[in-house]
Amino acid sequence: MEHKYNRWIMGTAVGVVAIAAMIDHTRHTLPIAQPNDIVIIDDESDASPCSLDVSPCSLD
Amino acid sequence: MSSKVTTDQSVVLMITSGIIAFSLFLQYEFAIKQALLFLIGIGLGVTLLHAAFGFTGSWRVFVRKRRGAGVRAQILLIALTSVLFFPLLGEAFPELRANAALAPVGISVLVGAFVFGLGMQFGNGCGSGTLFTVGGGHVRMLIVLAFFIVGATIGTVHLPVWLTLPSLGKISIINSFGWLTALIMQLFVLAVLYAVVRAIEKKRHNDVVQLGAPSDKLFTERLVFGPWTLVWAVVAMALFNLATLLLAGHPWTITFGFGLWGTKLWAAMGGDVSQWAFWQTGYAAKALNGSVLADTTTLMNFGIILGAMLAAALAGKFAPDSKINKADLMTAIIGGLLMGYGARLAFGCNIGGLLAGISSGSLHGWLWLIAGFTGTLVGVRLRIIFKIDKPIEA
């Protein structure tokens, strides 16, 4: 009984976090889709491993 | 004779579906990098749970019983991660660039790591330990995590004041001595530390617990259902950390995400965070103003929790029976708050401060180790005073 109770608590927690994360995510403006006839030059610099301007482990 | 594992099939199915769906969502919404970082988190969660690789328990066992298998495994992890990180951070491969976990060697780290080391003995979990035990379905650890987030958030408010206190600044032994000399020096110190821990254990018990305990289970069975040896965990964690460094551009770190979640939640409830200096510049500002799913530490933390859930379900250990009494509740709250606040002051927990710091060649990581272990010594003593543990037997 206790076992099932704990599973419900964990399931609820995961559900609440998922909803909260999605609310936060959708509050931010997503990029506007470009029409297909426009040639897009994809800037790869943002996808490089060093794209973070400052590491989150050494913030000051 | 191996014991039969009762896999929790419904949970395995749900978690696996969730992992696949979320990975695809991240790839679609952001890029393959975010999906991969989430999957690295999954790998770390599986590793941590299957090997039960924690800092809190192993430090306490070493202090109380002089058994040092866990501590020796941590020293090996730092050594192997250093071997992988130093050449990269020392620009031995100029085409691969990454950021070290450099932080100032000062009062903030000294106090923060001490508070964290103390708090982890009350919370009964460190940064990584809290995440993987939450994933394992331990309800008490949910409370620890909630207050860890509160503590980390308060820490972001106070950190600018702490940083006005005396500090020697950022000191990188890689920059000071070159990566090869620095690596040799670091491995020598770690070898001495390993020998000391081993000697203390041998002196007390006349034997030493092996890190790779043999088992009659098949390799693949053990790999999927656990338990893993500490040696497997060390190798897996070092490789996952290297993958994080290459993909995210910084070592594996946990507690930045906690402060971010707390601050976002506070702002969502109508709180004013515009005066919180920590969040006004650099990566922190970018993270606060962007989607929470764009933050690498958040993705990896989610991955660790889900990975640990998957591993626990595979091992038939998910959401074990437990009752939380008043003492459990109090220690969870106090431990969580202390760990969160301490981690922010110390520029990370046992992962982002200790492991990433030392493995990046930053001197603040060594200061973290000394202060954090001292905090644990006090924490172990306080556990006895508050009758959480029995007195240490001679």
**pLDDT tens digit sequence for B14-52:** 999 999 999 999 999 999 999 999 999 999 999 999 999
Least reliable range by pLDDT among B25-39, B48-62, B215-229, B290-304: B215-229
Chain A contact for B29, CB < 8 A? yes
Is B279's pLDDT higher than 80? yes
**Nearest residue, CB atoms, A2 vs list B97, B248, B321:** B321
Cβ pair B356:A57 closer than 8 A: yes
For residue B149, the Cα-to-chain-centroid distance in whole angstroms is: 14
CA count, 13 A, side-chain hemisphere, B265: 17
Nearest CA in chain B to A55: B250
CB contact under 8 A, B103 and A25: no
* Residue B104 touches partner A, C-beta closer than 8 Å: yes
Please give the residue that has the higher pLDDT: either B32 or B213: B32
Q: Does B34 touch chain A (CB under 8 A)?
A: no
Helices (H), chain A: 2-27
Which candidate, B158, B141, B203, B136, places its Cα nearest to that of B329?
Answer: B141
Q: Is A34 within 8 Å of chain B by CB? A: no
Q: Is residue B168 classed as helix, strand or coil in its secondary structure?
A: strand
Judging contacts by C-beta atoms under 8 Å, the chain B residues touching residue A53 are 282-283, 286
Q: What are phi and psi of B103, to 5 degrees?
A: -145, 160
Average pLDDT over residues B222-242: 96
B130 within 8 A of B116, measured Cβ to Cβ? no
CB contact under 8 A, B137 and A6: yes
Angle at alpha carbon of residue B184, lines to B183 and B187, rounded to 5°: 80
The answer to whether residue B149 scores a pLDDT higher than 80 is yes
Chain A residues with CB inside 8 Å of B142's CB?
9-10, 13
Q: For B79-89, what is each residue's pLDDT tens digit?
A: 999 999 999 99
Residues in A closer than 8 angstroms to B321, CB to CB, are: 2-3, 6
Q: What ranges in B90-138 are assigned the alpha helix state H?
A: 107-123, 127-135
| Locus of tokens 């959401």 | B319
Please report the pLDDT score of residue A57 as a whole number. 61
pLDDT level of residue B212 (50, 70, 90 thresholds): confident
Average pLDDT of the segment spanning B266-271: 95
pLDDT in the model for residue A58:
55
State the DSSP H helix or E strand holding residue B105, giving kind and residue range, or none if neither.
strand B104-106
pLDDT tens digits along B162-201:
999 999 999 999 999 999 999 999 999 999 999 999 999 9
A32 touches chain B (CB under 8 A): no
Angstrom distance (rounded) from CA B12 to CA B202:
41
Assigned token pair, A42? 């994809």
Top-confidence residue, B289 or B216 = B289
Q: Do B283 and A7 touch (CB under 8 A)?
A: no
Contact at CB, A56 and B253, closer than 8 angstroms: yes
Q: What would the mean pLDDT of B332-343 be, rounded to a whole number?
A: 98
Please, which residues bridge with residue B234 across strands?
none
Partner-chain contact A58 B292, CB within 8 Å: no
Structural tokens at position B166: 């005396």
Instruction: Find chain A residues with C-beta within 8 A of B170's C-beta.
Output: 58
pLDDT at A47 over 90: no
Which has more pLDDT, B26 or B216? B26
Bridge-based pairing state of the strands B104-106 and B167-170: antiparallel
Q: Which ipTM did the prediction report?
A: 0.88
> How confident is the model over B376-384, as a mean pLDDT?
97
| Angle formed by the axes of helices B69-89 and B179-205, nearest 10° | 180
Counting residues of chain B whose pLDDT is more than 90, the rounded percentage is 92
The SS3 call for residue B106 is strand
Nearest CA in chain A to B354: A57
Q: Is pLDDT above 60 for B135?
A: yes
- pLDDT, mean of residues B134-142: 96
Phi, psi of A16 (to 5 degrees): -60, -45
pLDDT > 70 in chain B, percent: 99
- Rounded to a whole number, what is the distance in Å from the CA of A14 to chain B's nearest CA? 9
pLDDT band at residue A45 under the 50/70/90 scheme: very low
Check pLDDT > 60 for residue B99.
Answer: yes
pLDDT exceeds cutoff 80 at B4: no
Residue A44 pLDDT > 60: no
Given this model, what pLDDT does residue A29 score? Answer: 66
The arithmetic mean of pLDDT across residues A17-45, rounded, is 69
Q: Is A43 near chain B, with CB under 8 Å?
A: no
- Contacts A51 to B, Cβ<8 Å: 249
Q: How confident is the model at residue B1 (pLDDT cuts 50, 70, 90)?
A: very low
Chain B CB contacts of A48 below 8 Å? 249
Residue-wise DSSP of B333-378: HHHHHHHHHHHHHTTSSIIIIIIHHHHTTBHHHHHHHHHHHHHHHH
The pLDDT of B234-254, averaged and rounded, is 96
pLDDT at B5: 78
Cα B348 from Cα B255, distance rounded (Å): 6
E-state strands within chain B? 104-106, 167-170
What is the dihedral sign for C-alpha B151, B114, B127, B157?
Answer: positive
Give pLDDT, residue B216.
81
Distance from CA of A16 to the nearest CA of B (A): 13
What three-state secondary structure class fits B386?
coil
Give the CA-trace dihedral at B137, B258, B107, B355, to 10 degrees. Answer: 60
The answer, for A58 touching chain B at a CB cutoff of 8 Å, is yes
Please give the residue of chain A at the shortest CA–CA distance from B343.
A57
**Banded model confidence at residue B202, pLDDT cuts 50, 70, 90:** very high
Provide CB contacts within 8 A for B290, sequence distance 6+. Answer: A28
